[in-house]
Structure 1
Amino acid sequence: MKNFRQTKEAWTNDYLDLYLHAKNTGDEKWQEEILEKLYLADQFVIKELEEQHEQKLWKRFDQINEQLLAIYGQLRQQLDRYEKEKLQEKAIELKNQRIDISQKITSAKGSFTN
């Protein structure tokens, strides 16, 4: 994932390109809107980074759920005691990871600053 500075630089360059296009087309209202967004660049970039981070966490959450479903499917099969215990241990580990990710998703907002 890009850091704040890299993301802000890319975002700013994109909006400067849009500003030049608006200027070349003579659209003064659009130019003003772009300038307003450029003045608030930090806020827009922080929001974008937060959304990317949250999406990454949700993706990992979904992966863990898929792994848990596979383990539960295996547990329904006839297994020896050792195999069953190993799968149960893995399920507990994954559940703990899922709890950790849930907490990170909840606290993800406001986690990016300069």
Structure 2
Amino acid sequence: MKTQQIEIAEAWTNDYLDLYNFAGQLGDLEWQNEILSNLKVAKIEIQKEVYAKKREDLWQKFDFINQELLALYQEIHQTNLENEVEKLQNKVWELKLQRILISKEIYS
């Protein structure tokens, strides 16, 4: 998580520094001052981006688990072996627990 946060922070800062330099080349002091103001509140903006990325990753995991559950349900309906059904149901249970944990993270 820390490396992802660092990558986002570096990318965000570099983008704004590039804009600052470009505004300087254009001689647009007002735009430069606006960019400086944004750089001063960089920590807040970076945290917003990190949070958004984390939520996106969690939703992808959630969707992946849903796909796995669908596949397991299909297997359960196609098999006639009782011990195989039990194994598949255990996998379903584990995935449902993972999905609950991810949901809690998404909405916390």
Per the TM alignment, residue 79 of structure 1 is displaced from its structure 2 partner at its CA by: 2.1
The 5-angstrom pairing of residues 54-65 of structure 1 reads 54-65=55-66
Quick one: higher RCO (CA 8 Å, sep 6+), 1 or 2? Answer: 1
Determine if the alignment matches structure 1 residue 69 to structure 2 residue 70. Answer: yes
Q: Distance in 2 between matches of 1:52 and 1:31?
A: 28
The CA RMSD over aligned residues, in Å, is 1.4
Alignment TM-score, normalising by the size of structure 1? 0.86
Q: 73-82 or 4-13, which moves further after superposition?
A: 4-13
Deviation at 1:36, TM superposition (A): 1.1
Runs (4+) off by over 4 Å: none
Give the deviation of 1:5 after TM superposition.
4.0
**Number of equivalent positions:** 107
Give the superposition deviation at 1:14. Answer: 1.9
Partner deviation per Cα, 1:90-110 (whole Å, 9 max, x = no partner): 000000000000001112xxx
More helix by share: 2
Specify the alignment match of 1:99 in structure 2: 100
Unaligned runs of 5+ residues in structure 2 are none
- In the TM superposition, residue 31 of structure 1 has moved relative to its aligned partner by 1.3
Please state how far the C-alpha of 1:13 moved relative to its aligned partner: 2.1
Unaligned runs of 5+ in 1: 108-114
CA-to-partner distance for each residue in 1:60-97, whole Å, 9 max, x for gaps? 00000000000111111132000000000000000000
The alpha-carbon distance between structure 1 residues 5 and 75, as it changes in their structure 2 partners (threshold 3 A), is closer
Alignment of structure 1 residues 1-114 onto 2, 5 Å: 1=1, 2-107=3-108
TM-score (norm 2): 0.90
